[in-house]
Amino acid sequence: MKITGVELRIIRMPLKSPFTTSFGTEYDKVALLVTVHAQTRGPDGDLVETVGWGECVAMEEPLYSAEYLTGAAEVIRRFLLPILFAAGDTLSSEKVGHLLTPVVGHRMAKAAVEMAVLDAELRARGVSFAEHLGAVRDRVPSGVSVGIQDSIPELLDVVDGYLAQGYVRIKLKIRPGWDLAPVRAVRERIGDDVLLQVDANAAYTLVDAQLLRRLDEFGLLLIEQPLGEDDIRQHAELAKLLSTPICLDESIVSAKAAADAIMLGATSVINIKPGRVGGYLEARRIHDLCVAHGIAVWCGGMLETGLGRGANAALAALPGFTLPGDISGSDRFYAQDITRPFVVQDGHVAVPTGPGLGVEPIPEILAAVTVTTEWIPV
């Protein structure tokens, strides 16, 4: 495959309600979309024009991770694309990760570029993400991530609403001052049978171990990233003190980091986010590693548009994804998605079956949310 040009597009979509985590409140989703235009050989050896979409999950500000949206755009235009352009017609999705190795870090930027190349390639071959990645299910269970609310009664209303929509697992965002009381209230309201987990987004330190230990009584599926991104050893210390399983998110930036965390006993469950780890192919490697080690995995989310949501659903359909992911319906966050909406039916989201991502932006809707576009010729 040979890239003929790339479009970088920044979009801004209003959230239906503000989303508050331990690191901040978001009112809009800002996303960077990468559209790769390429030529490739079709099944009959004829030259085919193909287009692929990538979605970069870097947030507007570097609060969840070191990467941020306009920084990722700069890395892509200035460092990543020149490498892929130089590969000429020898490029393939399997080579993208290796070719980009000289650029240190910037995994969210790399993931977006690889996703677009993979989508272009699979569309030309008529193969879906699900089929290519090794999916074994045609729908995946849908969990929902519930932001920090202004009060416990409001939280209970929000949780009731999601359960009424069929979500099979609730994840509560916590932070110091919003932990034991809301978790206790939700557990009392929903009963012992509903899957419940919490996500601290790195808001605590080991000094809080005794407090975090008090979460053990609520029968949580797991506690996600209680300590800092680079606190892998400290998570191993914390794990010895809690009966609630620890699940790392921010700390798992690669298959190597996953291997280290597993061997240190820092994590007994892993949240796989393709964007955070450098792409869907590295995400699959982490899945394979975890299966080999008997570590449960689930697919995290970054408020993706339908593009990333569809790809995440395909990934979550792999056999090792044994826990419900943060793959909610499009209407969890957006009044209108840029693709056809993903809907939660019977607590599940359908895995797209069409070529590539199996979904594409609807031009009028995409135009309406676009802030900037930039064409980068080869």
Backbone angles phi, psi at 65, to 5 degrees: -145, 170
The piece of 116-124, 208-216, 255-263, 297-305 that touches ligand OSB (CB under 6 A) is 297-305
Residue 294 Cβ vs ligand OSB, minimum distance, rounded to whole Å: 23
Binding mask 72-111 for ligand OSB (x = CB under 6 A): ----------------------------------------
The DSSP line for 304-340 is --HHHHHHHHHHHTSTTB-S-BS---GGGT-SS-SSS
Instruction: Give the residue with the Cβ less far from ligand OSB, 96 or 266.
Output: 266
Is residue 328 within 8 A of residue 348, CB to CB? The reply is no
Phi/psi-derived region of residue 106, left when phi > 0, alpha when psi is between -120 and 50, beta in every other case: left
Residue 356 Cβ vs ligand OSB, minimum distance, rounded to whole Å: 21
Instruction: Give the residue with the Cβ less far from Mg ion, 270 or 313.
Output: 270
Instruction: Give the residue with the Cβ less far from ligand OSB, 276 or 284.
Output: 276
- Residue 300 as a binder of ligand OSB (CB under 6 A): the answer is yes
- Residue 220 as a binder of ligand OSB (CB under 6 A): the answer is no
Size of the site for Mg ion (CB under 5 A): 3
State the amino acid at position 364 in one-letter form: E
Active-site residue, from 110, 171, 173, 240: 173
Q: Which of 65, 67, 158 is nearest to 110 (CA)?
A: 67
Q: How far apart are the first and last CA of the chain?
A: 14
- Residue 179 as a binder of Mg ion (CB under 5 A): the answer is no
> For this structure, is 173 an active site residue?
yes
Residues 21-50 that bind ligand OSB (CB under 6 A): none
Neighbours of 260 (CB within 10 A): 16
> For this structure, is 273 an active site residue?
yes
287 CA to centre of own chain: 14
Backbone angles phi, psi at 117, to 5 degrees: -65, -45
Is residue 292 within 8 A of residue 281, CB to CB? The reply is no
The piece of 46-54, 72-80, 300-308, 369-377 that touches ligand OSB (CB under 6 A) is 300-308
Length of the chain (residues): 378
- Residue 326 as a binder of Mg ion (CB under 5 A): the answer is no
- Using DSSP's 3-state secondary structure scheme, residue 298 falls into strand
282 binds, among ligand OSB, Mg ion, none (CB under 5 to 8 A by kind): none
317 binds, among ligand OSB, Mg ion, none (CB under 5 to 8 A by kind): none
The encoded tokens of residue 172 equal: 């509560």
119 binds, among Mg ion, ligand OSB, none (CB under 5 to 8 A by kind): none
Residues 167-206 that bind ligand OSB (CB under 6 A): 199, 201
Residues 214-273 that bind Mg ion (CB under 5 A): 224, 249
Residue 224 Cβ vs ligand OSB, minimum distance, rounded to whole Å: 7
Binding mask 301-320 for ligand OSB (x = CB under 6 A): xxx-----------------
Backbone angles phi, psi at 106, to 5 degrees: 50, 45
Residues 6+ apart with CB under 8 A from 360: 53, 307, 339
β-partners of residue 3 are 38
Phi/psi-derived region of residue 201, left when phi > 0, alpha when psi is between -120 and 50, beta in every other case: left
- Known catalytic residues? 173, 273
State the residues that interact with ligand OSB by CB under 6 A.
Answer: 64, 145, 199, 201, 249, 300-303, 326, 328
State the residues that interact with Mg ion by CB under 5 A.
Answer: 199, 224, 249
